[in-house]
């Protein structure tokens, strides 16, 4: 699916790839703004994870929580939709997360 960014998104830092099986420590309650996402620590990095990516306190798939830094008008290709967030690729080939509310169908 192709989308266009309608709201600037600054992201919250760069993260390494975490491989399936990496330990996840859930550090708080479910995010009030985005259901099914939880604050956590993965390999010493404070971030968020969709709860469906965690089984028995470990990642059940590879995961990188890096968000795309995008501006209004940018074009993205959606690769996956997880609980109101899109995992997408931009025109330079960079992948990352962006909230669904920040885009519209192109």
Structure tokens at 75: 């074009």
What distance in Å separates the CA atoms of residue 104 and residue 106, rounded to the nearest whole number?
Answer: 6
pTM, rounded to two decimals: 0.94
Domain 2-12+66-105, classified CATH 3.40.50.10860, yes or no: no
| Termini Cα distance of the chain | 8
What distance in Å separates the CA atoms of residue 16 and residue 69, rounded to the nearest whole number?
Answer: 16
What tens digit of pLDDT does each residue of 76-98 get?
999 999 999 999 999 999 999 99
What tens digit of pLDDT does each residue of 10-22 get?
988 899 999 999 9
What tens digit of pLDDT does each residue of 44-67 get?
999 999 999 999 999 999 999 999
Listed in order, the ranges of the chain carrying CATH 2.30.30.40 are 2-12+66-105
């Amino acid at each position: 699916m192709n989308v266009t960014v309608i709201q600037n998104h600054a992201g919250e830092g760069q993260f390494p790839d975490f491989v399936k099986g990496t330990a996840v420590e859930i550090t708080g309650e479910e995010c009030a703004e985005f259901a099914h996402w939880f604050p956590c620590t993965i390999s010493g990095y404070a971030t968020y994870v969709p709860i469906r990516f965690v089984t028995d306190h470990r990642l059940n798939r590879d995961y990188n929580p890096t968000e795309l830094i995008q501006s209004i008008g940018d074009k993205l290709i959606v690769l996956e939709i997880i609980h109101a967030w899109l995992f997408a690729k931009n025109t330079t080939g960079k992948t990352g997360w962006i909230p669904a509310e920040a885009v519209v169908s192109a």
